Each structure stands twice: as C-alpha cells, then as structure tokens.
Amino acid sequence: MISGARQAGKGTLVRIVAGDRMAERRDLDRAQDRAAVIADPVGFVDSAELLVID
C-alpha cells in the first residue's frame, strides 16, 4: 500500500515498481470499479496478477 498527499509522486513510484509488467489499474472514483468491489471484493482483487487500486 502506498499512501500520501496528492501530487507527491505515488503514481510515478507505482509505474517504476511495476516496470514492464502489465498492471491492471482500477480507480475507485469510477462508478463501475466501485460497483465491482462492492459486488465481489475477493474477485475484485483476485482478477489480476498485478493490480493497482487508486
């Protein structure tokens, strides 16, 4: 988990750590992603090998 103030470089750090690996990104500000996590929390996090949740 990475947390911090807005515009502090969290996204840049995630991109560096993920490198060339294909990470799936989910944004809980999007209604579709929020609905998915509410409907099936375990499936939400198990759906990708490398998952970034914003």
**pLDDT per position as a tens digit, 3-25:** 889 899 988 888 888 887 888 88
The C-alpha angle 41, 1, 54, rounded to 5 degrees, equals 60
Q: Which residues contact 30 (CB under 8 A, 6 or more apart)?
A: none
What pLDDT is attached to residue 15?
A: 82
| Res. 2: pLDDT tops 90 | no
pLDDT band at 48 (very low <50, low <70, confident <90, very high): confident
Q: Which two tokens stand for residue 53?
A: 């949740």
pLDDT band at 42 (very low <50, low <70, confident <90, very high): very high
Q: Is the pTM of this model over 0.95?
A: no
